[in-house]
Structure 1
């Protein structure tokens, strides 16, 4: 039902009052009845607004965050909390100097990390585990990133460097849309003690995991392969620590007789050459955004049955959907994109040409 506007409600009430007055007794502009009509219209408008809000809470698709959490909890689905990034950093200084656990380091943008255990400088350096002080994706850092000690430590240089592997695993709290998607998966695919949908749901319960694929018989009879990606990270392909986190979670919930192998899919970059009209920076950016969305929505891990094939017609459609695009020719590739088993198609380099 469409919610009537305040003016519509006022007009209805004024007409109703006028119909009950003696003939010729029209409402005056500043009459008491005119004031009452406005008060009643405002009250009714507020009630309509409350009813409109209530109607949006009765189904998860439109429910507000707090109500959505209650809907999800009813089905045993909890919003994934933010996760803190962790990894190793290299400290340098005088041999024998000790860096105590809890020592704070800071990135140039202000992000802070603390050491997880005591570390002693030996051979001029020490590698120590650190964890981001604040949970969230912003805590992730590439290898080679420079950190600085917040407070001096005797015998230890003030600068530290993120070690090989970087600081990873940081993830923001789950969004409403992602929680709705997991709730829909739970409702439409009730648990079956190890069915294909169960493994997908279990993998998606881990913070940072955005898509997962279940590959029955991956290493033979009685085995299951599970691949996943983390689309919100700078690199959606998970590293070893992130793979182990999903493996640990699945090992805790899987049937005891199932042999589950969690792995990171191998990226298969797809380079494109596009003749574009108009070939401007704005249109190029719009096309790239549409293609990135396409690869996120449709690219799948190849399980050996063609599930990883990306249709070339869908690539052309994505380009055509870009705002400002008038015409284009997809020079390359010219056929459906197929990948090897265990691979996933990713957007590679785009070469732009004027049409």
Structure 2
């Protein structure tokens, strides 16, 4: 009947209104506000949502010497993300003086006198060693800006002797992603190819050791909420640690900041940022520069910029090898891996040992979100104790391997 339809329609409309009121009630509190309502809370503390950003960094383009790589040249990853070169660069023969070569088993570690421009998987040529086994062309794995490793056939004496040179024919090219987002970041050894081939240049370029970094998605509600809560919990004042932390976290990708005042000397402050939402949690040198630049914007007039030290901490990788876990399921293994990552994010501190009880507790407290199972037993092969950490370093979770 008409009356029945009217009653049902009115009841439905009233139900919708109550649902809307309930949804609006969630926006009254920082802990539950979302979207534009959460941003309004941020505005009260001068905190705005971090925008998405582009990745940038350097690649090594190999090929024939004297070949020019023009500015604005497009390259593309396997996932069809595009990158553009920032300036004209020329492929040249780049010889580097080798400070030393040491051998452990069949792995040679090469240290150069100055920074190289290599990436994992590149081929470089070593010459000048008195021991012939060290000379030749080798596919390398880069360990730092001045070291890399490769395999050696034979058992030459160590360290190597002679006037040794490491040579590669390459262009050191800076690029930036065309699009925005975390998926534009790349690690050392990743390959990207020219959209339009260049005569004299190899089709595939190799990402250098420090990778392509800085690409971030627009800040999530959860990350923005944490910054807002931190702001009200520890109100910043002029150049106090709370303000330095707030400014550092305004740099895209920075999730955690460690600050030591009066370090290393009176009148100085040392800041170590981290990027726990990224695959590589240790920020790049470029990230550190961005953090420092942001902080210098509010530098007191009497403070020397050189007294503000911003450094990526030295990561101490901690690999986990499990003899067994119970229950021994794929979903539990995934849960343990995630639990260990979160433990390092929450408990690792720059310059402090990472205790065995911290990672043991994380394992025991793991809950398999797929079915609610908990760990009833496990046996670790490694590590076997506290993780020793020196000043300026921090323990980071490395690979997690299950032997069964």
TM > 0.5: yes
Aligned partners of 2:274 and 2:282 also within 8 Å:
yes
The 1:86/1:296 distance shift into structure 2, 3 A limit, reads same
* Gap change, CA 1:260 and 1:334, over 3 Å in 2: same
User: So what's the TM-score if we normalise by structure 1?
Assistant: 0.81
Residue equivalent to 1:233: 278
Report deviation, 1:104: 0.5
2:245 equivalent to 1:203: no
The alpha carbon displacement at 1:236 in A equals: 0.5
The corresponding residue for 2:84 is 114
2:241 is aligned with 1:191: no
Structure 2 CA distance for aligned equivalents of residues 174 and 312 of structure 1? 33
Gaps of 5+ in 2: 94-168
Larger radius of gyration: 1
- Aligned match of 2:332: 283
Partner of 2:11: 41
Uncovered stretches (5+) of structure 1, i.e. residues with no partner:
1-30, 303-307
Residues 89-121 of structure 1 deviation map (CA, whole Å, 9 limit, x = unaligned): 233455554332111011122111001112234
Aligned counterparts, 1:73-92, within 5 A: 73-92=43-62
Shift of 1:177: 0.7
Cα pair 2:314 2:392 within 8 Å, conserved:
yes
Is the contact made by 2:344 and 2:396 (CA closer than 8 Å) also made in structure 1?
yes
User: How has the CA–CA distance of structure 1 residues 142 and 337 changed in structure 2, closer, same or farther, with 3 Å as cutoff?
Assistant: closer
Matched, 1:177 2:222: yes
Q: Given the alignment of the two structures, is residue 300 of structure 1 paired with residue 349 of structure 2, yes or no? A: yes
Shift of 1:322: 2.9
Please state how far the C-alpha of 1:262 moved relative to its aligned partner. Answer: 0.8
Q: 1:102 matched to which residue of 2?
A: 72
TM-score normalized by the length of structure 2: 0.72
The yes-or-no answer on 1:317 pairing with 2:342 is no
Give the deviation of 1:57 after TM superposition: 1.5
1:16 aligned partner? none
Deviations 1:25-60 (A, max 9, x none): xxxxxx333222101101101111221121112222
Show CA shifts across 1:204-259 (max 9, x none).
Answer: 11111010011111111111111111112221011222222212222222324442
For residues 402 and 59 of structure 2, what CA distance do their matches in structure 1 show?
A: 40
Aligned equivalent of 2:187, options 130, 142, 146? 142
Q: Distance in 2 between matches of 1:284 and 1:94?
A: 48
1:260 and 2:230 correspond:
no
SS at match of 1:167: strand
Distance in 1 between residues matched to 2:314 and 2:170, nearest whole Å: 34
- Report if the CA contact (8 A) 2:239-2:298 is conserved: no
What is the aligned-residue RMSD (CA, Å)? 2.5
- Offset, 1:339: 2.8
SS of residue matched to 1:166? strand
Equivalent in 289, 292, 304 of residue 244 of structure 1: 289
Which secondary structure does the structure 2 equivalent of 1:165 belong to?
strand
1:214 and 1:225 in contact (8 A); partners too: yes
2: CA distance between counterparts of 1:62 and 1:196? 27
Q: How many equivalent pairs are there?
A: 319
Q: Which structure is higher in RCO with an 8 Å CA cutoff and minimum separation 6? A: 2
